[in-house]
Amino acid sequence: MTAYRRAATLLPAAQGAFFSKLILPFQKSTNAISQTVRFQSHHGKTSRALHTSAQLLVTKLLSVDELFARHSLQEYLKRMETEYSECLRIVNSSVMETKCSEDELKTKRSQVSLLTPLIQCIRELDTKYKDMAETEMLLKDEDPALRELAELEQEACLHNIQNLRQKILDLLIPEEEVDLSDLILEVTAGVGGQEAMLFTAEVFDMYQGFAQHHGWSFDILEHMTSEIGGLRHASASISGQQSYKRMKFEAGVHRVQRVPKTEKQSRMHTSTMTVAVLPQPTEISFTINPKDLRIDTKRASGAGGQHVNTTDSAVRIVHLPTGVVAECQQERSQLKNREKAMKALRAKLYSMKLEEETSKRYNQRKVQIGDKGRSEKIRTYNFAQDRITDHRIGLTVHDVKSFMLGEDLLDEMNTSLQEFSNQEVLMELLEENG
């Protein structure tokens, strides 16, 4: 449905009526919203269905028009204009400069700088509204040629208005510094024995494919395999543009329902695994006192080549004040393993610090991120029904095989999670300022 809504915002009014008829058959009751969109592959051979199922209207993704129809949003935009004008007046007034302290002036200048892009869009939108009103007057003209030109102008105005509205909404959602971070990914097998470990290995491969799909680097830090090829635990450092921002909603408990390879009587099993996504801080934003660390070395264990069990290359670092532990044995060099273990430790400690600072803010969110979503399943992978359901936003995608490649389908679900989260942030902002 996300793709349809996105397309709808770009359609002119005449086409919008057709579009409404197209969507209408898929809509259900307000207490159980269910929509279907079919995606056709580039080769024209396969199609897959996308459904959304929400229990309450609060989880319904509102359109740009619906958001701008809200009185609270209009009042907030007016308040921002007033605040901008007042700050600009103080900054430009030589009389006021003598009455304001340097710190106050610095704050006002900073506020003006932050609000300028938003105010420019609001004023440009007001201009487009006036152009639209003038165009509608021309539609009533007796000259057919003039009316035809007015219709073309109306379509262009509608397109520009929708683009400006979307830009304003994007500017209202504050950028979080942590979204610019790289990340440490950790996967751990949960309930389900060997089957849980096999699924953990598949999910780890899925995220490696997701990183490759986006052109990010994927550096494995830990890789503890099971007897039959699954994963007990693994971690990786992922670096690339918007890597944490795109991956943060994957954190939580993932549930799989299928007949395991180890099952001889074809019975369906339910297993779980846990994903942790930890923002990777820079040296400047987060430092660790070396006196707080205990660094141990040992011989690497498990499959890995001739260096295993011959040199003390594996490194284990313990942060004494918190008891947080990080290990690495992937490299032959003890120095490289130490660097990777420190990278993982810093990410864990930074995540703990970040969680303390933001726990109140995210406490009421439906779309949870980080450790907040780990107390219950966030997603179910049902192989028998060939579906993946994200329980936070009630979104179900079909075609498990394609989803597990970590490419377009995972990207689509990830985009939907981001859009729902952005809407929650916007609603919280309007409530706080209401």
Q: What is the pLDDT of residue 398?
A: 96
Percent of the chain with pLDDT over 90: 41
342 and 377 share a domain? yes
Contact residues for 96 (Cβ-Cβ < 8 A; gap 6+): 89, 90
In a shared domain, residues 122 and 244:
no
Mean pLDDT on 127-134: 92
Region at 252 (left for phi over 0; alpha for psi -120 to 50; beta for the rest): left
What does the pLDDT read at residue 254? 95
The Cα 391–Cα 378 span in angstroms is 5
Of 137, 172, 207, which residue constitutes the final position of a domain? 172
Nearest to 406 by CA among 257, 211, 243: 211
Q: Look at residue 433 and tell me if it is in a domain.
A: no
> Domain for residue 109, yes or no?
yes
User: For residues 353 and 273, what is the distance between their CA atoms, to the nearest angstrom?
Assistant: 24
Residues 30 and 78 in one domain: no
Residue 427 within any structural domain of the chain: no
Do residue 184 and residue 39 come from a single domain? no
Tell me how many domains the chain contains. 3
Mean pLDDT (whole number) for 136-151 = 85
Two structure tokens written together for 352: 């703990």
**pLDDT at site 98:** 55
- Say what the pLDDT of residue 42 is: 38
- Of 155, 172, 189, at which residue does a domain stop? 172
Are residue 230 and residue 354 in the same domain, yes or no? yes
Q: In this structure, is residue 239 part of a structural domain?
A: yes
* Host domain of residue 78: 67-172
Average pLDDT, the chain: 79
pLDDT band at 367 (very low <50, low <70, confident <90, very high): low
pLDDT band at 257 (very low <50, low <70, confident <90, very high): very high
pLDDT digits 0-9 by tens, 14-52? 333 333 332 333 333 333 333 333 333 333 333 333 343
- Together in a domain, 75 and 19: no
Residue 47 and residue 143 in one domain: no
pLDDT of 369 above 50: no
Query: What CATH number does residue 250 fall under?
Result: 3.30.70.1660
Tell me, yes or no, whether 237 and 257 share the same domain.
yes
Residue 294's beta-bridge partner residues?
318
Same domain, 6 and 86: no
Tens of pLDDT, residues 154-194:
899 999 999 999 999 999 988 777 788 899 999 999 998 99
Closest CA to 420 of 39, 52, 34: 52
Kindly calculate the radius of gyration of the chain based on its CA atoms and give it in whole angstroms: 26
Residue 418 has pLDDT above 60, yes or no: yes
User: Do 136 and 165 lie in a common domain?
Assistant: yes
Q: Are residues 98 and 22 in the same domain?
A: no
**Which residue do the tokens 């600072």 mark?**
357
Mean pLDDT across 42-67:
54
Q: pLDDT (tens digit, 9 = 90+) per residue, 83-93? A: 999 998 888 87
Domain assignment present for 432: no
pLDDT at residue number 125: 95
Res. 310 pLDDT band, cuts 50 70 90: low
Give per-residue pLDDT as tens, 202-251: 999 999 999 999 999 999 988 999 888 899 999 999 999 999 999 999 99
Residue 219 vs residue 373, higher pLDDT: 219
The mean pLDDT of 123-150, rounded to a whole number, is: 88
Judgement on whether residues 105 and 81 belong to the same structural domain of the protein: yes
Whether 100 is covered by a domain: the verdict is yes
431 is a domain residue: no
Domain boundary among 12, 43, 61: 61
What is the DSSP secondary-structure string of 50-97? EEEEESSGGGS---HHHHHT-HHHHHHHHHHHHHHHHHHHHHH-HHHH
Buried b (16+ CB within 10 A) or exposed e, 38-70: ebeeeeeeeebebbbbbeeeebbbeebeebbee
Which tops the pLDDT comparison, 128 or 428? Answer: 128
Q: Is residue 426 in a domain?
A: no
pLDDT tens string 315-344: 999 999 889 999 888 888 888 898 888 888
The more confident residue out of 52 and 131 is 131
- Using pLDDT thresholds of 50, 70 and 90, give the confidence band for residue 399: very high
Give the predicted TM-score (pTM) of the model: 0.68
